[in-house]
């Protein structure tokens, strides 16, 4: 049975409960299959938080819907269940901060916790910028979510810069290096980021295969930032 089929069965079982019940059920229903639990937890976290982001922003555009569909190639027979989960999260009176905290807690014992939570933030950014740019309310939502995920401000700035590079973001911020760094230091950081963010790493972390598109864009931003810095330093 595929992950989406298992997720569909799960949603059917919990759709009459508050979303807090969905999160608690996740801890036990997939207890015997940690790999599947990770995939389902990741998918539900991104679905729920994107619903909360849409509610905070006040508008859901067709571009954002398409961006969501780019991340998750949901089988036709499971679209209804995903929509039910999205609507359940959007309609829940609990605020997004409570959701973010509970979602993060699902990965507390995972050795790849920080990477998984950054993957979720990347997915949310991908949806937020689908209409061409990230709105101020969305940035506020994403920054607060990153804080709840225990990311430091400089780490959030790095992620934000990566997603706004085309709008003139500082390439040094994308790589997370000082503007006074030497070319050798920049190269070491670049190689480390390429290794950490290779699409194969996402698959190893149990991410849905559909998420590879985002990993590819993440690497593209890292490559563009490095090339911009390298060109500047070689001219000095």
> Is 57's pLDDT higher than 70?
no
Cα(136)–Cα(197) distance, rounded to whole angstroms?
27
CATH 1.10.287.110 fits 166-236, yes or no: yes
Domain segments of the chain as ranges = 1-151, 166-236
Cα(82)–Cα(84) distance, rounded to whole angstroms?
5
From residue 85, give the alpha-carbon distance in Å to each of 33, 48, 88.
22, 7, 5
Mean per-residue pLDDT, 1-18: 70
Residue 146: predicted pLDDT: 96
Percent of the chain clearing pLDDT 90 (strictly above): 24
> Is 181's pLDDT higher than 90?
yes
Residue 17: predicted pLDDT: 63
Cα(29)–Cα(16) distance, rounded to whole angstroms?
16
Mean per-residue pLDDT, 172-182: 92
**H-state helical runs in 59-182:** 62-71, 79-91, 96-105, 113-128, 136-148, 153-163, 171-175
Question: Would you state the structure tokens that stand for residue 169, as one six-digit string?
Answer: 């973001």
**CA nearest to 142, candidates 213, 50, 226:** 50
Those residues whose C-beta lies under 8 Å from the C-beta of residue 134, and which sit 6 or more positions away, are 125, 128, 142, 160, 163, 164
Between 32-36, 46-50, 180-184, the lowest mean confidence (pLDDT) is in 32-36
Predicted TM-score (pTM) of this structure:
0.84
| Angle at alpha carbon of residue 71, lines to 66 and 76, rounded to 5° | 70
Mean per-residue pLDDT, 17-37: 73
> Is 1's pLDDT higher than 60?
no
Mean per-residue pLDDT, 45-51: 86
Residue 113: predicted pLDDT: 87
> Is 24's pLDDT higher than 90?
no
**CA nearest to 51, candidates 116, 123, 155:** 123
- For residue range 109-150, list pLDDT tens digits in order: 888 888 889 989 998 998 888 777 788 888 999 999 999 999
């Amino acid at each position: 049975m595929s992950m989406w089929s298992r997720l569909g069965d799960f949603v059917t079982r919990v759709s009459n409960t508050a979303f807090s019940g969905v999160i608690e059920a996740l801890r036990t229903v997939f207890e015997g299959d940690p790999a599947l639990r990770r995939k389902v937890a990741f998918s539900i976290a991104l679905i729920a938080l994107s619903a909360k982001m849409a509610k905070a922003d006040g508008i859901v555009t067709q571009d954002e819907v398409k961006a969501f569909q780019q991340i998750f190639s949901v089988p036709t027979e499971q679209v209804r269940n995903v929509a039910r989960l999205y609507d359940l999260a959007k309609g829940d009176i609990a605020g997004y901060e409570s959701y973010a905290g509970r979602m993060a807690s699902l990965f507390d014992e995972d050795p790849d916790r920080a990477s998984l939570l950054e993957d979720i933030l990347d997915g949310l950014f991908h949806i937020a910028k689908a209409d061409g740019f990230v709105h101020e309310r969305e940035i506020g939502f994403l920054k607060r979510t990153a804080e709840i995920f225990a990311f430091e401000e400089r780490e959030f700035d790095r992620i934000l810069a990566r997603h706004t590079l085309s709008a003139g973001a500082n390439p040094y911020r994308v790589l997370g290096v000082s503007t006074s760094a030497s070319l050798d230091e920049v190269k070491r950081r670049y190689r480390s980021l390429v290794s950490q963010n290779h699409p194969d790493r996402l698959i190893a972390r149990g991410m849905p295969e559909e998420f590879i598109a985002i990993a590819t864009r993440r690497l593209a931003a890292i490559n563009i930032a490095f090339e911009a810095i390298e060109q500047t330093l070689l001219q000095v």
